[in-house]
Amino acid sequence: MAKPTAVVDYQICDPKKCSEDGKCPAIKKCKHKALQQEAKGEAPAVFGLCMGCSTCVTACPLKAIRLI
């Protein structure tokens, strides 16, 4: 069975609500550097290295990240 992958729900994610500087706090928690932002204030995206560890799911205060 394939490993689960984190996905960001862009209907829910709002960097202004979870950080003062626009940096997604869940990104700092990803040891695999799979979650990245193109710019401060933009919603992050998951790239190919996600290990499905769910650390970012727990770290997102708006519950905008889930594993599928």
Binding site for ligand SF4 (CB under 6 A): 6, 8, 13-15, 18, 24-26, 29-30, 32, 34-35, 43-44, 46, 50-56, 60, 62, 64-65
Q: At closest approach, how far in Å is the CB of 66 from ligand SF4?
A: 10
Contact criterion met (CB below 8 Å) for 16 and 23 = no
Select 1 or 62, whichever has its Cβ closest to ligand SF4.
Answer: 62
CA atoms within 13 A on the CB side of 4: 12
Contact criterion met (CB below 8 Å) for 29 and 56 = yes
Q: At closest approach, how far in Å is the CB of 14 from ligand SF4?
A: 6
